[in-house]
Structure 1
């Protein structure tokens, strides 16, 4: 009998040889910008900062002096440029006011363009070796987002709270349409409807709020462009002197939209797929730092938002459509007009006799004469003395007349006394504003036939 030879003990499995370390993939270097792109960025960066300065520094409490100093600087430079560089025949003496399309504003626009071009030229020489401006672009994008967002929210609140376009004043109700300026017609159209103000203002606020967040910036830019292109059209075609400013707001929104134009065209026009983009920030932050920035951002927006609301609510309480009106507010028809003891009949073409008087909520009176001429006065009621002061003009050149005022009943108002080289007695009757179709018509769900008057 044979026995099997003993098998050698199984060997222990050897440990696998360590694999060579794999190289850590490095973040791909962003592609270099072309020369035209770099020059364009330098110019846009310089122009935006020049145009918006001192924002956002002037938003900090106690820094209002920056805006005053900046305005004073340009009010010195721009007239000098107009006189010595542009050789303008008339000196620039009218500065920023209710109009944003003054000669001062257009020359300032030109100065900004020239200065931005100069900065671009110097920057292009000094920094000619830089291949791209990724971080600077991200910072500019944040700057423009907040600049445009807060502007849109501010303008939107002016419509939501209906402080930009007041309801048509009493004198508007009897003003012939042909006497309206294009801007006056637009202001009356907008002021008539609280609902349309809420709609347009809400769209402006929506666009502004969307711009405050990176993820919704593109959508916000689209909303702002849609809203502001309409505003620009109204400003141009109704001769509203905010053409320069509103056009700048559209261009700022376009600047924010530019990086996504190709992707939007792929999806909406060319029916091609597109890839998501990285929502990057100018600086890499830790989780704790991101939370800190979020808290600061929330506090900043809360303070700014509340200041806007408080400002508009205060204005509404003082001058809004539902605010208390001055005692003399209303539209009055002149029943009789006596001058120097002579009763003047209501003859069309008379250059002396009054026809209507409208007193608005700002205590300004518009007196329409029988020949259609309109005289404008500020009026001040002294209830204790029983007088009303009519002032035509402003400053030292103002012509002032103090008339005895009485109201024999709720509908009538009697004025007596010296007025512009004569003695008058004027009896006026208050007109019920609801007698005008514009006021009484209202909204109707059902209309069997168009009611276009």
Structure 2
């Protein structure tokens, strides 16, 4: 049986069209996977950055007694959130662990959907907190939430079927950035190596952004009330700038720790202090940042620098002299309750304790 020339041309044309269609489809899918991979990589880097910052207790810091004098009414909503998280290293660490875990899962092809789900859940919580406490990175957390959902799109039909459908659930898609298998054998090895190098670089680099942290609970660390003062009171309380309470922090960042001073007129001064020698400390103080002012404007204010000599006395009080001060500080056990109560699994005599 003979085949007509027109039929041969038709068959070859159909094969060429099919090959072109297959090639075009492969190219389109590969481009989409590369776009997907770019979003996935950016998301993983962001989650690693914020996650490691929380794991090393750097983003929110650690709550210390140097922040004990500020009242709830003086705090900003963001300040309330920062102090709440700083007060619980466990909460901060678990939040960082979720973000780092999501990032690690995003960097390996077979665990991408798990990472996207964890990332979306984490960023949804962060976005709600940023909204509720007026944190100025609302747009960033929303963008990361959207990116998590975008990364999850290829697996959404399977997830929907798992929750709402019935029957067997087929194998999910596998991100394929290199469709040519001979080259993919090399990228399958180089990809995980690059991911590990990225994790190592961020894991080592982020902690270097924060000064070394240490605990020094020796005097004057603690919350103190002014028990004696040689200065005479002002005629009007609103003009009385004598000190009424002082809080020295025990958490040191580098060589400095937090300090707060409450004056008799109600003004709160905040800043840091450094130990110059065994009995001398240097304070740098500024008033609270006013609403509407920028961080740069607040930091541009010339700090009040005080050099004080502290002499611990036998009855537990501290004699303070220098910078126009001559007073005696007495420990304020109630003022340090937030930092010294600790945690108990069992029931205590004063449990529950809510004040």
Q: Normalising by structure 1, report the TM-score.
A: 0.60
Post-superposition Cα deviations, 1:198-251, rounded to whole Å, max 9, x if no partner, equal 222221122111111222212211111111101000000111111011111001
Rounded to whole Å, the distance in 2 between the matches of 1:447 and 1:406 is: 37
CA contact (8 A) 1:156 1:204 kept: yes
Residues 1:351 and 2:240 aligned together = yes
Aligned partner of residue 51 in structure 2, secondary structure: helix
For residues 402 and 452 of structure 1, do their structure 2 counterparts lie closer, same or farther at Cα, with a shift above 3 Å needed? closer
Instruction: Indicate how the Cα distance of structure 1 residues 134 and 382 shifts in structure 2: closer, same or farther if over 3 A, else same.
Output: same
Residue 3 of structure 2: aligned partner: none
Residue 298 (structure 1) aligns with = 192
CA RMSD of aligned residues (A): 3.8
**Deviations 1:375-411 (Å, cap 9, x if unpaired)?**
2244344328946354548788525444341323484
Give the number of aligned pairs. Answer: 323
Gap change, CA 1:330 and 1:302, over 3 Å in 2? farther
Contact 2:57–2:92 (CA under 8 A) maintained in structure 1: yes
Contact 2:279–2:310 (CA under 8 A) maintained in structure 1? no
Displacement of 1:253 after TM fit?
0.7
* Deviation for aligned residue 1:298: 3.5
Pick from 20, 39, 51 the counterpart of residue 156 of structure 1: 51
In structure 1, C-alpha distance between the alignment counterparts of 2:100 and 2:299, rounded to whole Å:
40
Kept in 1: contact 2:273–2:284 (CA 8 A):
yes
Query: What is residue 405 of structure 1 aligned with on the other side?
Result: 309
Equivalent residue for 1:141? 36
After superposition, where does 1:26-425 map in structure 2 within 5 Å? Answer: 29=21, 133-271=28-166, 273-287=168-182, 289-311=183-205, 318-319=212-213, 322-323=214-215, 328-339=220-231, 342=232, 344=233, 351-360=240-249, 361=252, 362-383=256-277, 386=280, 388-392=282-286, 398-409=302-313, 411-418=316-323, 423-425=324-326
Q: For the structure 1 residues 445 and 156, does the alpha-carbon distance in structure 2 shift closer, same or farther, using more than 3 Å as the test? A: farther
Give the TM-score, by structure 2 length.
Answer: 0.75
Per-residue deviation, 1:31: 12
2-side partners of 1:233 and 1:292: how far apart?
42
Q: Summarize the Cα distance change of 1:285–1:337 in structure 2 as closer, same or farther, 3 Å threshold.
A: farther
> Is the contact between residue 350 and residue 371 of structure 1 (CA under 8 Å) also seen in structure 2?
yes
Distance, in Å, in 2 between the alignment partners of 1:241 and 1:282 is 36
Q: In structure 2, what is the equivalent of residue 85 of structure 1?
A: none
Change (3 A) 1:230 1:212: same
Q: Which residue of 1 aligns with 2:11?
A: none
Structure 2: distance between partners of 1:237 and 1:309: 30
Aligned partners of 2:221 and 2:248 also within 8 Å:
yes
User: Do the aligned partners of 2:55 and 2:97 also contact (CA within 8 Å) in 1?
Assistant: yes
> How many angstroms apart in 2 are the aligned matches of 1:221 and 1:132?
25
Secondary structure of the residue that 1:436 maps to in structure 2?
helix
How far did 1:348 drift?
7.1
**SS state at 1:407 partner:** strand
Classify the secondary structure of the residue corresponding to 2:178: coil
How far is the alpha carbon of 1:140 from its aligned partner? 0.9
Structure-2 residue corresponding to 1:436: 337
Deviation string 1:114-165 (CA, Å, 9 cap, x unpaired) is xxxxxxxxxxxxxxxxx98422211111111111112212222222222222
Larger radius of gyration: 1
Pair 395,314 (structure 1): closer, same or farther in 2 beyond 3 Å: closer
Contact 2:155 2:173 in 1 (8 A): no
